[in-house]
């Protein structure tokens, strides 16, 4: 019991040092709990590389959010491992979303709409009307649409070409298409119905 008490006191001291901006204290915390953190992450993600990424992210979160930790309300070890587990769960959920996006991409759901004549109809719009519609989009969404629909690229290729995560590219396309549908409602290019909605992966940047 005395050993446990001393451990809690040592952790509280580490938390105080981290809160004061002491990077060495974060390193000591890592040395103390990296192994058990990796074990927790592995049980969830079942992949060592992914688990190591999760642990790294968790310790970064500790550094950034240490002010949220209250040594009087709980133990630093438990708080850290909760962060690890939550990050690991987010990682698994993100992977599932990515798998869903892969399926949609294979089906062409991110490159066409439910109306098979959508691209042809857009092509038949006057240049001025099309320019106005595209010009109303934010720059990054317009670029994504031009690459995907007029350049023939998949959302993953768009991501690579624009230097953003795949989920971000998919999200930009989704938002851009929703805006274009709204703008083109009532024209010959108006789609019959909306395609499946695909959310960006976890941790991706804003569209």
Q: Where exactly are the structural domains of the chain?
A: 2-99, 108-184
CA–CA distance, 121 with 108 (Å, rounded to integer): 18
Confidence category of residue 199, pLDDT binned at 50, 70, 90: very low
Q: Among 3.30.70.1400, 3.40.50.1580, 1.10.1740.10, 1.10.357.10, what is the CATH number of 2-99?
A: 1.10.1740.10
pTM: 0.48
Confidence category of residue 143, pLDDT binned at 50, 70, 90: confident
By the 10 Å C-beta count (0-12 exposed, 13-18 middle, 19+ buried), 78 is classed as: exposed
Residue whose C-alpha is closest to residue 162's, from 105, 42, 154: 154
On the question of pLDDT at 72 being above 50, the answer is yes
Least confident of 12-21, 94-103, 123-132: 94-103
CA–CA distance, 110 with 99 (Å, rounded to integer): 14
On the question of pLDDT at 125 being above 70, the answer is no
On the question of pLDDT at 160 being above 80, the answer is yes
CA–CA distance, 175 with 191 (Å, rounded to integer): 15
On the question of pLDDT at 62 being above 70, the answer is yes
Coil, strand or helix at 131: helix
CATH number of 108-184: 1.10.10.10
CA–CA distance, 31 with 39 (Å, rounded to integer): 14
Average pLDDT over all residues of the chain: 74
């Amino acid at each position: 019991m005395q050993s446990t008490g001393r451990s809690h006191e040592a952790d509280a001291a580490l938390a105080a040092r981290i809160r004061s901006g002491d990077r060495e204290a974060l390193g000591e915390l890592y040395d103390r709990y990296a192994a058990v953190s990796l074990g927790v992450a592995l049980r969830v993600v079942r992949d060592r590389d992914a688990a190591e990424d999760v642990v790294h992210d968790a310790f970064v979160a500790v550094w950034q959010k240490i002010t949220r930790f209250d040594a009087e309300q709980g133990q630093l070890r438990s708080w850290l491992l909760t962060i690890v587990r939550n990050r690991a769960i987010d990682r698994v959920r993100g992977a599932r979303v990515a798998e869903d996006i892969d399926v949609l991409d294979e089906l062409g759901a991110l490159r066409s709409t439910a109306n098979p004549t959508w691209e042809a109809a857009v092509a038949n719009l006057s240049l001025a009307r099309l320019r106005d519609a595209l010009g109303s989009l934010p720059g990054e969404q317009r670029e994504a649409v031009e690459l995907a629909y007029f350049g023939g690229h998949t959302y993953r290729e768009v991501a690579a070409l624009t230097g953003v995560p795949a989920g971000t590219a998919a999200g930009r396309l989704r938002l851009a298409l929703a805006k274009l549908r709204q703008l083109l409602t009532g024209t010959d290019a108006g789609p019959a119905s909306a395609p499946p909605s695909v959310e960006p992966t976890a941790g991706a940047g804003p569209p």
